[in-house]
């Protein structure tokens, strides 16, 4: 099986998409992969992200993201004025489309055999527009994977004009692609709700995966119960519900917080923690740290008594299944989720964890107290591993790779070799 994979994100770029794409490709068996990925010199890099994934790539084509000097100033002005289209249709990586298509066209002309299957990974959604050009030119079977919604994503700010143009792009992609992969049923339903059954039937679920090869078991701190949250806060995702719950427990049941430390590790906008009320908590109860490497994040997860997931509120059933939750599953530590009804809360419950809706402060405090008590009981019983093993198995990287390979094999049929008639970028 020969795959042509387009993913702007790939290690060592420090992005959740880099981790998941590299992990999937590393665990695919019997596959020849031609990978086209980007390079953004302004991105944060992390050499600990799946460092051996590239060893499984037969051909790696790295296409740098163009960075003309004038573009930085235009982008800053457009963002300040909230102008439509610029960097939003489909996203800030749109400028990468043309050089990526040119590189793919040059490779195709030299290739001894055309790929059996095209796979594109969005975000960024520019990857799917590259896939659209390839599929239209060569009629190559195509799987398009969506980590998030393209249109109506509550974490993205969109002008009505942005939404209108992106809706046209999305429609072209989902109608042209042969199969559409999503991390959860809820995400698939949300994205495809406007489309006919003929399009909806293309969907299949391909979740994020954890690396079962990570087996380090760090020692717990002897006299402290440590809860850790690892990840970023942005948009409606904020630590405020957690801080409110801690204040409630300090007032109503201060003994619950004895020997407890909460650590928040990762990025947040300026003033996020102050606005959420961290200054109203007793000193030392909550500690914050900036980004750490991927390897260190796994070590910190494994060295915690419990792990915290915090998601934004939702007036309807949530569609998001954060990849960080899947990383949590891999280290087998108890999980407490402040998350609305949806795939994340459901999965935490299936594993045996606790959760509460971010809009219910009383419930959050009650469940947090129960969770801390659970961790103390585990300490007393010297428990190590945690989580329903059958649920965990579904998210192990070899299992997710097998699901993908089965879908790919079912899609690929006998076909004639397409021929290169003209430069690919001219047909996009």
Q: What percent of the chain has pLDDT over 70?
A: 92
Contact 407, 182 (CB under 8 A): no
Q: Rounded to 10 degrees, what is the CA torsion of 79, 82, 83, 89? A: 70
- The domain spans of the chain are 2-209+397-426, 225-381
Contact 193, 159 (CB under 8 A): no
On average, the pLDDT of the chain sits at 90
Over residues 406-425, the mean pLDDT reads: 65
**What homologous superfamily is domain 225-381 in, according to CATH?**
Glycogen Phosphorylase B; (3.40.50.2000)
Rounded Cα distance, 400 and 25, in Å: 10
Q: pLDDT confidence of 418, banded at 50, 70, 90?
A: very low
Query: What confidence tens digit (pLDDT) does each residue in 155-196 have?
Result: 777 778 888 999 999 999 999 999 999 999 999 999 999 999
Q: Look at residue 117 and tell me whether its pLDDT is greater than 90.
A: yes
Region of poorest pLDDT, from 5-19, 124-138, 235-249, 379-393: 379-393
Contact 181, 145 (CB under 8 A): yes
Q: What is the model's pLDDT at position 415?
A: 45
Query: What confidence tens digit (pLDDT) does each residue in 41-92 have?
Result: 889 999 999 998 888 899 999 999 998 765 665 566 656 656 666 667 899 9
Q: What is the model's pLDDT at position 71?
A: 64
Say whether 225-381 and 2-209+397-426 share the same fold.
yes
Whether the pTM exceeds 0.85: the reply is: yes
Q: Look at residue 428 and tell me whether its pLDDT is greater than 70.
A: no
What would the DSSP string read from start to end of 161-178?
HHHHHHHHHHHHHHHH-S
Over residues 398-411, the mean pLDDT reads: 96
Site of tokens 């975000």: 123
Over residues 268-279, the mean pLDDT reads: 92
End-to-end CA distance of the chain: 26
Contact 133, 22 (CB under 8 A): no
Q: What is the model's pLDDT at position 152?
A: 85
Q: Tokens for 312, please give them.
A: 């934004």
Domain spanning 2-209+397-426, CATH class: alpha beta
Cα–Cα separations (whole angstroms), residue 257 to 221, 244, 384: 16, 14, 22
Region of poorest pLDDT, from 64-78, 201-215, 216-230: 64-78
Q: What is the model's pLDDT at position 78?
A: 55
Q: Look at residue 416 and tell me whether its pLDDT is greater than 60.
A: no
Q: pLDDT confidence of 286, banded at 50, 70, 90?
A: very high
Query: What confidence tens digit (pLDDT) does each residue in 4-17 have?
Result: 999 999 999 999 99
Q: What percent of the chain has pLDDT over 90?
A: 78
Q: Which residues contact 383 (CB under 8 A, 6 or more apart)?
A: none
Q: Look at residue 151 and tell me whether its pLDDT is greater than 60.
A: yes
Q: What is the model's pLDDT at position 67?
A: 80
Rounded Cα distance, 309 and 346, in Å: 13
Query: What confidence tens digit (pLDDT) does each residue in 322-369 have?
Result: 999 999 999 999 999 999 999 999 999 999 999 999 999 999 999 999
Q: In what order do the strands lie in the sheet with 59-64?
A: 59-64, 32-39, 2-6, 117-122, 142-146, 179-182, 203-205
């Amino acid at each position: 099986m020969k795959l042509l994979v387009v993913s702007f994100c790939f290690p060592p770029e420090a992005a959740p998409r880099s981790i998941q794409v590299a992990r999937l490709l590393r665990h695919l068996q019997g596959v020849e992969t031609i990978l086209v990925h980007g390079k953004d010199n302004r991105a944060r890099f992390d050499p600990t992200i799946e460092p051996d994934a590239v060893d499984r790539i037969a051909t790696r084509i790295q296409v740098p993201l163009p960075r003309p000097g004038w573009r930085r100033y235009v982008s800053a002005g457009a963002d300040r004025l909230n102008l439509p289209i610029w960097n939003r249709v489909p996203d800030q990586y749109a400028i990468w489309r043309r050089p990526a298509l040119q590189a793919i066209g040059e490779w195709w002309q030299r290739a001894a055999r055309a790929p059996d299957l095209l796979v594109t990974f969005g975000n960024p959604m520019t990857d799917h527009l590259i896939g659209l050009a390839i599929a239209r030119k060569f009629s190559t079977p195509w799987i398009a994977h969506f980590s998030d919604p393209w249109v109506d994503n509550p974490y993205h700010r969109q002008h009505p004009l942005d939404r209108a143009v992106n809706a046209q792009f999305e429609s072209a992609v989902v109608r042209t692609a042969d199969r559409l992969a999503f991390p959860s049923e809820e995400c698939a339903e949300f994205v495809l709700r406007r489309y006919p059954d003929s399009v909806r039937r293309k969907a299949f679920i391909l979740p994020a995966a954890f690396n079962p090869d990570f087996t380090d078991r760090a020692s717990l701190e002897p006299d402290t119960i440590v809860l850790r949250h690892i990840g970023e806060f942005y948009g409606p995702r904020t630590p405020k519900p957690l801080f409110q719950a801690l204040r409630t427990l300090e007032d109503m049941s201060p003994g619950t917080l004895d020997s407890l430390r909460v650590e928040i590790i990762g990025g947040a906008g300026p003033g996020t923690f102050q606005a959420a009320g961290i200054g109203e908590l007793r000193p030392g109860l909550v500690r914050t740290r900036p980004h750490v490497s991927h390897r260190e994040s796994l070590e910190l997860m494994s060295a915690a008594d419990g792990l915290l997931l915090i998601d934004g509120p939702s007036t309807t059933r949530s569609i998001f299944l954060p990849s960080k939750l899947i990383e949590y599953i891999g280290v087998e530590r108890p999980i407490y989720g402040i998350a609305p009804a949806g795939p994340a809360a459901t999965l935490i419950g299936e594993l045996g964890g606790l959760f509460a809706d971010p809009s219910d402060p009383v419930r959050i405090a009650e469940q947090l107290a129960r969770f801390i008590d659970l961790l103390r009981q585990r300490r007393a019983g010297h428990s190590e591993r945690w989580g329903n093993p059958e649920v965990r198995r579904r998210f192990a990287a070899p299992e997710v790779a097998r699901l993908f390979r089965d879908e790919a094999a079912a899609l690929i049929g006998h076909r004639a070799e397409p021929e290169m008639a003209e430069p690919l970028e001219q047909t996009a």
